[in-house]
Structure 1
Amino acid sequence: MTINHYLTTFAGLPVLGAQEQSPADPAAVTWRLEMEDFEADPEEFVAEFERLLERTGPAGPTALIIGEWGSAYERAFPVDLLVGNAARLGGLRALFIGEMSSEQCEISWIQQGDITPLLEAFPALEHLWVRGAEELALTPMRHTGLRELVLQSGGLPATVVRAVGACDLPNLTHLELWLGVDQYGGDARGDDLAPILAGRSLPALTHLGLRNAEIADEVAAAVAAAPVVARLTGLDLSLGVLGDAGAESLLTGQPLTHLKTLDLSHHFMSPEIAQRLVDELPGVAVDVSDKQSEERWGRFTAVAE
C-alpha cells in the first residue's frame, strides 16, 4: 500500500468522506475525522469530535479513522480524548490513528504517545492501526479482543517492538510492523523480534508483516528459523531492502510451501534469485515485483521520512 492515498475501506467497511451524507445505519461505515487546517487548535478538534459523536449515535462509530488532529508534527494525538469518552464509544471495534499523506505530515514527523490506555479503555477493540512512531510507547499487557495490530512508521523504536512481543494477545491473527530505518528511530534488531517470532504469546497469528525494514536481510534470516512461521498463511517482508543474502536465508531455511502468500515486493534481489523463490514455491503467491536499483542511492526502504 502507499501512504499517499487514503483507504477506501477499513475493517471491512467503506470509508465515509467528510462531505458525504450520514448513512441510515451509522455502524455500516468507517467514519473519518480530520482537521482541514493542519495547525488547528486542540479545541477545534474536540469540537469536531463532538459533532462526530452526535452523528454516530449513542454507541459511537464502529470504525474510526483519524487523520490530521492539528499540528500533528509537534503535538501528540490526544489519546485522553478517546479514553475519557469510552462510555460514549461502546461500539468502537476498529481505530486508525494518523492516516495522513506525506503532503500533510511526513510519517516520521507524526507525534504519537502511549497507546496502552487505548487498549485498556477499549477491551472490545479488534483492529488498531497507528501511523507514526515519534514518542510512540506501549506497555506490555493482555488484550483478548484485538485481532489486528498495524504499526506503520519510518522508524519503529526497539522499545515498542519488544513491548509488542511481551504482550499477551491470544486472538491476534494479523500483526504488521513497519520497522523503518535507524535515522528515523528504527533501532530494532533481529534479537528484538525474538519473542514475536517465537509466537508463544500470539497463538492465533496467521499473518505476519515485518515491512519497510532497513534490516530486511537480518529479519529474513531470523524468520527462516522462526517457530511462528509454521502456522502462518501470509508472510510479508515487503517495502524494505531485502537482497540476495536475505533471499538465500529464506530458500535454505524452514519450508515455506505452506504459505498462501509471500510478499517481497520493493526489493534489491537479483533477477535470478527472485525467480528461484518463485520457482521453488510453486503453490505460494510470491510477489517479487518492484525491483529497485542501488546503483545511485544505495539501498532504501519504500517509506522513511
Structure 2
Amino acid sequence: MYGAQHLHEFGGLPAVDFQHTTDGAAQPAADTVAWRVSVDPYGKDEGRDRPWEDEFNNFLDTVDPAGVRALIIGQWGEAYEEDSSVPIGLVLAAADRLTSLEAVFVGDLEAEQAEITWIEQSDVTALLAAFPALAEFGVRGGTDLVFPPIRHERLRSLTIQAGGLPVQVVRGVLDSELPALERLDLWLGVSAYGGDTEVADLAPLLSGTRFPRLSHLGLRNSEVQNEIAAAVASAPVVARLTTLDLSNGTLGDEGAAALLEGQPLTHLDVLDLHHHFLTEAMEERVRTALEPHGVRVDLSERSKPWDDRGAEGRYTAVSE
C-alpha cells in the first residue's frame, strides 16, 4: 500500500510546480510558494523530459533564488536507478544563491512515479550542514538513506517518510543535536522493506532527554505499533507533548489499552491514531477517556486485517 502523496504545502507555503516557459508568463513571487522542481524521465509531460540539472538551472534563472524560502525536490529521474545525491549536489552548489532558504524536502514522489521503497536516497544531512537557517526538513524514501548525527541550531521540524526506515537512520537522528526541534515525524515502516528499528532503539527519544523543545512526536506507520504504544504509555517525553501521532500502523485494542492504562494523556491537544485496527468498543473507550478533556482524537480509517489471521493480517498504510 502507498499513502504518500505530493505535498500540498510545505514550510507554511502552498506547494507549486515550477513550470519553465518561454513565453514570459508570470511566475509567483519567489517567497510566496514552496517550489517543487521535478522532471519526467518518461516523457509523459511535454517539456518536462529534460535532465533535472537543466530544470533546476532554469528555475534559478527564472525565479529569484535569493527570495526562495521553500524548495521541494521532486522527481529527479528514474529514482530507482539514480539516487538523490544528484539533485542534492546541485542544490548545494547553488547554496550561495539560495540565501533565504528555510525549508527543504527531498523526494516528493507519488506511487505512479516510484513506490516509496524504490526511491534511492543518499546522505541528506549535507543540506542541513549547508543551510544553517533551515527550519523545516523532510525526506521521503528510506532506501540507502544516510543520516549521520549532526548539529543544527535552528531546525524546528524533521520528517522522514519511509516504507522501511533503517535503524541506523533512526540512531543518527536521535544522536543529533537539534536544540530547536519542535516536531519530529518518523515513518518506521516494515521489516520486509528494511524497517529494522526496535522499540529499544527509541529509548533515548522516549526518555525525554533528547530535543528539549519537542512538542509534536510522530512514531508512525509501524508494524510494531502496539509495542510502541506500550512504550509511549510510560515514556517521560509524553508529558511535554501537545501532539502524539501513532497513526498509519498496526495499532489494535492491545496498544490502545496500554495507552489508556499508562500516564494521563488529557494534556494533549491531539492524539492521532488514524489507520488503525481498533474495535468499535475500544474506539469508544478512547473517545470517552480523552475527548471530554478537550483532546482531539483522530480514529478515522478503521481497517480490517487482510485475512482471518487476526493481528498477523494487519498492515501499515505505507509499505512498498
Q: Could you tell me which runs of 5 or more consecutive residues in structure 1 were left unpaired when the two chains were aligned.
A: none
Instruction: State the Cα deviation string for residues 217-248 of structure 1 (Å, max 9, x = none).
Output: 11101111111110100000000000111111
- Write the distance in 1 (CA, Å) between the matches of 2:160 and 2:303: 24
Corresponding residue of 2:17: 17
Aligned AA (1:285): R
Contact 2:42/2:49 (CA < 8 Å) preserved in 1? no
- The answer to whether the 8 A contact 1:3-1:100 is kept is no
Q: Alignment partner for residue 28 of structure 1, among 27, 32, 40?
A: 32
- Shift in Å, 1:19: 3.8
Contact 1:212 1:240 in 2 (8 A): yes
Structure 2 partner of 1:53: 60
Once the 2 structures are TM-superposed, how far is the Cα of residue 56 of structure 1 from its aligned partner? Answer: 2.3
State which of 198, 202, 207 in structure 2 corresponds to 1:193.
202
Name the CA distance, whole Å, in 2 between partners of 1:39 and 1:128. 29
Summarize the alignment of residues 110-259 of structure 1 with structure 2, pairs less than 5 Å apart. 110-259=119-268
State the Cα distance separating 1:197 from its structure 2 match. 1.4
- Alignment match, 2:300: 289
Please give the alpha-carbon distance, in whole angstroms, between the structure 2 residues aligned to 1:294 and 1:246. Answer: 16
1:23 to partner: Cα distance = 3.8
Measured after TM superposition, the shift of residue 200 of structure 1 is 2.0
What letter matches 1:299 in structure 2?
R
1:301 aligned onto 2:305: no
Give deviations 1:21-40, integer Å, cap 9, x for gaps. Answer: 54452111111100022599
SS at match of 2:319: coil
Contact preservation (8 Å) 1:233, 1:261: yes
- Give a deviation string over 1:169-191, Cα, whole Å, max 9, x none: 11111100000000001000101
CA drift at 1:199: 2.7
Q: CA deviation at 1:7?
A: 2.3
* Matched residue SS, 1:114: coil
How many Å separate the matches in 2 of 1:137 and 1:4? 20
Distance in 2 (CA, whole Å) between partners of 1:51 and 1:212 is 37
Instruction: State the 1:61 CA deviation.
Output: 1.9
Q: Which amino acid aligns with 1:301?
A: T
- The answer to whether the 8 Å contact 1:65/1:96 transfers is yes
**Corresponding residue for residue 71 of structure 1:** 78
CA contact (8 A) 2:248 2:318 kept: yes
Q: What SS does structure 2 have at the residue aligned with 1:117?
A: helix
Assess, with a 3 A threshold, how the Cα gap between structure 1 residues 104 and 24 changes in structure 2: closer, same or farther: closer
Q: Aligned-pair distance for 1:97?
A: 1.0
Measure, in 1, the Cα distance between the counterparts of 2:161 and 2:8. Answer: 18
User: CA offset at residue 129 of structure 1?
Assistant: 0.8
CA RMSD of aligned residues (A): 2.1
Q: Which amino acid aligns with 2:38?
A: E
C-alpha separation in 2, matches of 1:111 and 1:39: 21
SS where residue 86 of structure 1 aligns? coil
TM-score normalised over the length of structure 2: 0.90
1:271 to 271, 280, 304: 280
Residues 43 and 84 (structure 1 numbering): CA distance in 2 closer, same or farther, change over 3 Å?
farther
Q: In structure 2, what is the Cα distance between the partners aligned to 1:240 and 1:133?
A: 17
C-alpha deviations, 1:198-230, integer Å up to 9, x for none? 232311111001111111011101111111110
- Unaligned runs of at least 5 residues, structure 2: none
Map Cα deviations across residues 84-128 of structure 1 (whole Å, 9 max, x no partner): 221111111111111111011000110001112111111111111
TM (norm. structure 1) is 0.94
C-alpha distance in 2 between matches for 1:195 and 1:151 = 18
Distance 1:84 1:39, change over 3 A: farther
> Cα distance, 1:161 vs. partner?
0.8
Aligned length: 304
Identity of aligned residues (%): 49
> Is the CA contact 1:179–1:211 (under 8 Å) kept in the aligned structure 2?
yes
Matched, 1:62 2:69: yes
